[in-house]
Each structure stands twice: as C-alpha cells, then as structure tokens.
Structure 1
Amino acid sequence: MSLQYVQGASLFTHINEVPKQYAYLTQNISTDVIIIGGGVTGSILGYYFSRQNIDCVLLEKSRIAFGSTSITTTLLQYELDSSLRDLEQYTPLENSLKAYKLGLKALDEIDAFINEQGNNCDYEKKDTLLYTSKKEEIAEVEEEYNLRKTHGFSAEFLTASSNPFSFDLKAGLYAMDGGAQLDPYKYTHQLLDVSSQKGLQVFENTEVVKVNYLDHGVEVETTYGYKVKGKIIIVATGYNTQLFTKRNFGVKTTTFNIATKPVTSFGGWPGRVLIRDNSSTYHYFRTTADNRILAGGEDISFVPGIFNEDAALEKYELLEARIKTMFPLIKDIEAEYKYCGAFASTQDNLGFLGKDPKNDKLWYCLGYGANGILFAILGGMMLSKLYLGTFDENLKLFKLDRFDG
C-alpha cells in the first residue's frame, strides 16, 4: 500500500521502537528472486524462500512495515469476510471450506514459527466470536455454525440466554482456537531478522521505478539508478501494483481504526476473544498485549487522492461510542490512536497468489480481504515450493485469472 493510502497515527509504529534500519541499495547486484515490498507480506515471502535456501533480495521503497502493515489490526481468523452461503454466488462451497482449512493451516504455521523462533511479536492464540444483535440475522449465523460443525470445524452456538458477553447478542458462533493476534510491526521485523540470518538481503528506502523483462530473467531499476537482476520478481506491494500491471485486482474501501489507552480491566469480555459482528460492513475488536482495545470498521468507498478529515473524525467517534456501549463494565475507555487506510476485497474473499498468466517471470502474492497475512503465509509456502518445481493444487484457489471471462 502506498503511504498516501494511510492517514493518522497508527498504533504499532508509534508504540514500538525501530529494532533495525536496513541499508538502501548502493550497488548493482544479482539474485534468484526479487521480492518487491517490505511489509508483512514481503517479510513472510522472504522467510519461506530463504528457509528453502533460495537466494532472495527484498526491496522496500520506504521504511520497513510503515505502509499498510502499520495499520493492519492483525485480527487473524481462518474464516473469510462473508458467510459460506453468501460466497456461493461467487465460488462453490467446496472452495470456501477449503479456504477455511487453509486458514487454519496458516495459523498453525505462525504458531510453529513462534515455537521455533520465540515470541518477539506479542503473539497469542485466540478463540473467535462472530455475532449478531439483530433477530433477523439469527438464522444466518446459525446456518454458518451448522455448516462449520458439519464439516469438522470446532465451534459452539451462542444464544441470548447463553451469552457470556456484556453486549447484546441474539446469536453467536464461537470458534475454539479459531484465530490469533500479534503485533504486525514486531512480527515483520522478527521475520526479516530470522530470514537475514538465512541469507535474505533486505534494502529499505529503495524504490523500484522500472522493470525490464529479459530473455533469461528480469531486472529492476531503483530510484538512484542501481539495478537488481534476478530470475523472477514477486509483487508483495498490496494495492500499489501500477508498476507491474494495469489491472485493478480488488474493490477498494477505506477502513477506520482506533486504539484506546490501556484499560484496567476487561469485564464483559471473557477470554478477550477476537470479536466480529455480522453487519454487511462489519466491525471487529481485539485487545493488545499492553491492555488496549483495538476496534475497526465503518468502511466507506475509497476515493484516490481524497481524504475527508471530517468524515474520518465521525467514524472514529462512532467506533469509540460502540466500544463503550458494548463494554459498559470497562470504565476507562478513551481513544488514543486514530488512523485509517485502504482495504481491498474480492468477490470470493480470496487473494491472488501465483504467476502472471502472460509472464512467467512476474509472480504475485497479494493477500486481499481480511485474511491478508494468512494468505501471505500460504503464498510463502506454496510459491517457494513452486519455484523449486512443485505445484500445490491449492494455488488454483488463488489464481490470478479466476475471474476472467
């Protein structure tokens, strides 16, 4: 995501110190794989490729993890943005269920990384709650619950009489071990630290301004005139893909976030589980390691180059008021950080992973939708194997031309 798409003071880049500054490119170099983008997606790719001993260079045009990564809530859940039934108009039920299971696999991958490398990013496993406060949506939530139970997912169905939360809940789907949370800024830097020790070369403040496709590879040129040659490039730039394609991959909206000052208790919020409501433009809530509440939602259509500050202030006030209404037992709720940014979604709620259909030197890892980090992990796993000659059938779910025709 370009920095123009991020507005306000994001929580994670303000509460954390910069653990390491990477050099900018000052010479021409060669590698096998060129990763474009130094956010969480690029760092995940760097980790999986370097783990396979593939020679890689990562190039970030600005500062590591200061683009869209700085505003992600990292409220990680295996489920997709829309319900299984709603998604059937765009993709078979089988595909969405497969995506759910792949989401669980990606969550397991994060857990394995933490167990191996240590928890330097405030990682926590979490149960998740999808709920509605509207009587007319009870049947929809119950149907989602029944579909998940039928297909082997661990879940419970909550009703108003079994509601343990302090907010109005007419129906809820409670998924055990259905998610996780972490600090995306720390996570990105931890991944790059581990990967650098395995040979990944990282350059920040190194913007790629031109791509040249050669007979036997690809070459990128940077702002200061230095070049990197490789066999392929992988685009991990979020929504800023204009240098590589004229295609508009997703529908952009602007989403708003607030983070409160640390609170003294979490009454009415058992387990501090991850929470999402069932609204068409839904709201989501999590807590942080330093006892803040992080809330997001109130999405509006994204208009390039235009930022409406009055509209943003109204959205932040609505989010703060919603938290206070939901959690009356938490008395010291006060928003401290307020920020917003572009968010892209697709019809089937899935990102794009794989080779450009018309250029086998151009690969993409674009984690669109709310599951961007989990999709990036799947991309790191499957694309590194693809580079070594093994095609994973699950890549077909994320293929770039799946909406063509």
Structure 2
Amino acid sequence: MDLHTGLPFWLIKNGLAYNYSSLKKDRKTQVVILGGGITGAIQAYFLAKAGIDFILLEKRSIGLGSTSASTALLQYQIDEPLSSLIEKVGESNAVRAYELCAESIETIKSISKDIGHDNYQVHPTLFYASYKKDIALIEKEYELHKSSGFDVELWDQKKIKKHFDLDFPVALYSRHSAQIDAYKFCHQCMQYAINKGQQIYDRTEVVDIKHKKEGVKIETSGGYTIQAEWLIYATGYEVVDFISKDIVDLNSTWAIVSEQFDDIKEFWYENALIWETKEPYLYMRTTSDHRIMLGGRDENTNNPQRRQEALKEKSKKLAKDFAKLFPQYEFIPEFSWAGTFGSTKDGLPYIGKYINKPQGLFALGFGGNGITFSTIAGELLRDIILGKENDDVKIFAFDR
C-alpha cells in the first residue's frame, strides 16, 4: 500500500537517519513487532525499557511509511468531540480516553528525554468554531473538559482577535499539547532499543503468519522463520491486509510546509497548534526551524493516483486557506505531500487482543491522534505481555 505521495518535509530534513539490515537467518524470540513506523518504534521502546526480548520487522526502510508524512501534532483532544464520544462509549470511557491522551503527551516528553529527542516542544492548542452554528459545540466541550479536570479556557471573539487577530466567534484554548519530529523520534526509539540489545530489521517482508495458542510462527519472503510467543501488529493502515473485521475507513490528507522565515520566532500567540470545527478541518503548527506546516483538504479516498494528481491543486488551496487566516505572512510552499489516514466509528484506536489471532496483539492508532494512541498502546500491550491487569484495555477493545 502506498501511504504517502510527494516530498514529506521530515524525510528531506533528516534523510536516511540510520541503516538497518534485513533478516538473514531463522530466529526465536519472546515478541515480534510487525511494523517499523512510529507505532512500532514506540512499542519497541516500551518493550526494551521493560526488558522484554523482541524482533521488529519492517518491509520498507524504517520510518518510510506514513510516519514520514505525519505532521505530528500531539493533542489530548481527539477527532471525536468529548460530547459525542460520551454518547458513543459512555461518559466514564470517553473521559478516560481523553485523560489517557493527555497523559501520553507527558509520557512522550519522558521518552524524548530518554532517547535524546531534541524536537519535543510544548505548545497550547487553539480549537476554534469555524461557524456560528458551532458555538454551542465549543461551549459544551469547554464545560465537559473543564469539569473533567483539563486545563482549558473558553475564549470569546474579542480574546481570539486580541491574541491571534482571527475573527471567529469562540474557541477552546488548552494546554495539554505538544509537537515532535515524528520521523526522527521513530529512529531514535529504534536506536534506543538496539542499544538495549534488541533486533531491528527492515526490508524484510512477512509472507505468512500462523497463530496458535502456544505462539506465532512467521515466515519472510527470504524464506526465514521466526518463532515467538507474541506478535504485535503495528502495521497501521495496512492492517486491512491482516484482519477481516471492518474497523477503519481509509482517507487522504494533504500537507504543505513553508520556506523558512529567518526573522520570525513567534508567528502567532505562543505558536499554538491550531485546528477547527469544520469538517474536513484545517490544522497547522510551526517547526523548530521557523517554518509553518499545515494540512487538510481531506478526501474519502486512498487512491495513490488521485493523491498525486491532486497534490499541486491541494497545495495551492491550502496556501490560500492559510492566507485568509494570516495575510501578513507570505506563505511560499517548499514541501508538499499527501498521506493516508484512517478513521474509526468512534474516533478511538483498536488496542489489544483480537479473537481470531491467538497470541496476537494490535496497536492500531488511527486518526489524527496516531502518536498519542500508539503511546497508550505501548503501555497497555507491555502490561498484557507481562501478565499485568489494566482496566483501560477494555476502552479500546475490538468488541467495544
């Protein structure tokens, strides 16, 4: 599956950060992680930290799937507003899911320190009502978030205008968010695991998987086999190749990054992450080297040809979207790309066991919160492997 089109900024900025070898002999281990993107990398970090032996396999080069196309906004707010998530999964589970996302951002901060990632940056988030009809939604979200203990403020039109010079009726301003370089973070997690004695292989395609109660047997295209007690599927959107359950709709999003603004360090108030209530929504952030990154103009398609054909026009429209909001900046796109993203029925990921795959575990962080969801998965799957009870597993179960 082609997961992105164009020239993702992170890949050009960082290049092929490290070299990894392909698997060239039969192996036996406690756990196999299937997938070498940021989801697999985060699972690798947690297992290595816990002293659990594993082998990670990636069919491409490490990080070259959807990870290199991630805009890496880290938010506790998910694509499904808390008010509607409560209606779908109940108040207790909904609030807990939001709490776990907030906690995961702090966990990512801790991981960044542990692996030497210097691009973790704390920024607040501005979530504004695109239209007057969305005022009630923002106000309801504020009440729910505030009563649930989140650090949020309700901003009126005057305050938005004062701090951002934007003309929107109301916004939620929150302080549980950050941003990273997802591609670099992915590689640094892998290097952390390697330094702990773990095995990472890329350009190693899995062609057959046999699940049994006593363990899992994996065969690669090179004819080598791996015996393991557990298999973690961290395959992201390519999980549709391994599971029959209809759990995700695959879509495409487009993103652009500006040229550097050498003389500007704060583009808008606190360089906040910005997104909106409109669907599909526009989202934006800044970078550590003084650029502006934004994305949106999503479509309900996963056709690589369509993504490529639309790239030039989508880039122009995104630049115009930005110019309407911040006309004081001349946004000249230097990088543009399109990537795959998935959405679930309730906006939550799928994490844990799947009945048809004995000894299989899933870390499927779909949607705009893939990195925070993957962090939650890392802690939950580690606990399952260690035999520890964790009540949060039920929130993200396949049978929810």
Place the TM-score, normalised by the shorter chain, in its bin: over 0.9
Pairing of 1:112-151 with structure 2 (within 5 A): 112-120=110-118, 122-151=119-148
Indicate conservation of the 8 Å contact 2:275/2:281, yes or no. Answer: yes
Does the residue aligned with 2:239 lie in a helix, a strand or coil? Answer: coil
User: What percentage of residue pairs aligned between the two structures are identical?
Assistant: 33
Does the residue aligned with 1:130 lie in a helix, a strand or coil? Answer: strand
Does structure 1 residue 279 correspond to structure 2 residue 264? no
Does structure 1 residue 363 correspond to structure 2 residue 361? yes
Distance, in Å, in 2 between the alignment partners of 1:222 and 1:44 is 23
2:317 is matched with 318
Query: Which stretch shifts more, 35-44 or 312-321?
Result: 312-321
Indicate conservation of the 8 Å contact 1:251/1:344, yes or no. Answer: yes
Distance, in Å, in 1 between the alignment partners of 2:372 and 2:302 is 27
Does the residue aligned with 1:307 lie in a helix, a strand or coil? Answer: helix
**What root-mean-square deviation, in Å, do the aligned CA atoms of Structure 1 and Structure 2 show?**
1.6
- Deviation by residue 1:184-225 (Cα, 9 ceiling, x = unmatched): 111001111111111220001011111123462211111111
In structure 1, the gaps of 5 or more residues are: none
Indicate conservation of the 8 Å contact 2:283/2:294, yes or no. Answer: yes
Distance, in Å, in 2 between the alignment partners of 1:248 and 1:6 is 22
Instruction: Give me the TM-score of the superposition, normalised by structure 1.
Output: 0.94
2:83 is matched with 85
Structure with the higher helix share, 1 or 2 = 2
Query: Which stretch shifts more, 339-348 or 87-96?
Result: 87-96
2:256 is matched with 258
Cα offset, 1:343, TM superposition: 0.9
Query: Of 377, 380, 383, which residue of structure 1 is paired with 2:378?
Result: 380
Query: Aligned pair count?
Result: 397
Cα offset, 1:66, TM superposition: 0.5
Does structure 1 residue 107 correspond to structure 2 residue 113? no
Pairing of 1:31-42 with structure 2 (within 5 A): 31-42=29-40
2:156 is matched with 159
Distance, in Å, in 2 between the alignment partners of 1:135 and 1:232 is 51
1:24 is matched with 22
Indicate conservation of the 8 Å contact 2:129/2:277, yes or no. Answer: yes
Query: Of 232, 235, 239, which residue of structure 2 is paired with 1:234?
Result: 232
Query: Which stretch shifts more, 32-41 or 317-326?
Result: 317-326
- Deviation by residue 1:344-397 (Cα, 9 ceiling, x = unmatched): 111211101101123331111000111111111111111111111112100101
1:5 is matched with 3
Distance, in Å, in 1 between the alignment partners of 2:81 and 2:368 is 13
Indicate conservation of the 8 Å contact 2:257/2:293, yes or no. Answer: yes
Cα offset, 1:308, TM superposition: 5.0
One-letter amino acid of the structure 2 residue matched with residue 119 of structure 1:
H
Instruction: Give me the TM-score of the superposition, normalised by structure 2.
Output: 0.95
Pairing of 1:319-334 with structure 2 (within 5 A): 319-330=318-329, 332-334=330-332
Distance, in Å, in 2 between the alignment partners of 1:75 and 1:29 is 37
Does the residue aligned with 1:148 lie in a helix, a strand or coil? Answer: helix
Indicate conservation of the 8 Å contact 1:166/1:268, yes or no. Answer: no
Distance, in Å, in 2 between the alignment partners of 1:10 and 1:297 is 15
Cα offset, 1:77, TM superposition: 0.1
One-letter amino acid of the structure 1 residue matched with residue 226 of structure 2:
V
